[in-house]
Amino acid sequence: MIRIGPHQLPARAVLAPMAGITDLPFRRLCLEFGAGLTVSEMLISNSDLWHTRKSHLRLAKDDNALRSVQIAGADPAMMADAAARCEAMGADIIDINMGCPAKKVCKRAAGSALLREPELVAEILQQVVAAVSVPVTLKIRTGWSPEQRNGRDIARLAEDCGIASLAVHGRTRACRFNGEAEYDTIAEIKHSVSIPVFANGDIDNADKAVAVLAKTGADGVMIGRGAQGRPWLFREINARLAGTTCAAVTAQERRDVMMAHLSALHRFYGELQGLRIARKHCAWYLQDITNGDFRAQFNRLEDATAQLDAVHGFFEQHGDNLQDAAA
């Protein structure tokens, strides 16, 4: 099993932090399906801005789960202060984002933009590690661009600075989410350090997870987009790694998970915001088994009960066909 500081993870597949997606309801759901760890949505390091409702929701915690909070920024002192504040609010692990390719993050010289400045990376990591007593982890890409692929150097630097584990998305910042993930590069990074390494990128089924672990030698896999609308992917990966199989998700289970998730979103965000967020999750849950007609109808609904009734009705009407698709 993988250890991050004093924490032993119960499984080798963990949930990637994703802004606008890995909120508390989704993290809880992935944990129920066997995720070894979940990481919160990214928080900006300027704690003066944490008074907003958005930040409060991102800081929401589950007292029954290991809590990893991700922070992002480019000022070492501010990052250290943010880490200390997160620890004081109950974070068990501090995760540093140096992998986000979003322009609004990179233009502040944060996220994956930091990979161009190893000296600044070292200063941030050293100050954050010194500021907290909990483990600090790091998420990176393989480099800024194919011409500046320095992930191995950053990984070694991170280990020297006291980082407890590393997650590597197998693309450079310039590649964003295009092309195939560079598992060879992740393998080079893994073999250059002794801390746990999670391979991330394009892992959307259990067989792929096993293949990526074999290819990279990574300790675990980090699942991002592959879990959207498919939280049961963690159950499938865990079974495959254990040398067993698990029953495929049924249409009834998919319906029940959807409805429980949508209800949790309505409660967590309030009905108005919950309705909007539920729309994208509904689309992900049904992406492989329906066309856009139901999605368009669902997106026009303005009432939480109406959303739940629509999902229930959809499965009642199409249950037999959905059963075949789910299998």
Question: Which residues are marked as active site?
Answer: 100
Q: Indicate the SS3 state at residue 81.
A: helix
Q: Tell me the DSSP string of 109-129.
A: T-GGGGGG-HHHHHHHHHHHH
User: How many angstroms separate the CA atoms of 115 and 144, rounded?
Assistant: 6
Q: Indicate the SS3 state at residue 145.
A: strand
Q: Which residues pair with 199 in a beta bridge?
A: 168, 221
Kindly calculate the radius of gyration of the chain based on its CA atoms and give it in whole angstroms. Answer: 20
User: How many angstroms separate the CA atoms of 312 and 259, rounded?
Assistant: 8
Residues in the chain: 327
Angle between helices 304-326 and 251-269 (to 10 degrees): 150
**CA-angle at 113, arms to 215 and 134, nearest 5°:** 70
SS (H, E, C) 11-69: CCEEECCCCCCCCHHHHHHHHHCCCCCCECCCEECCHHHCCCHHHHHHCCCCCCCCCEE
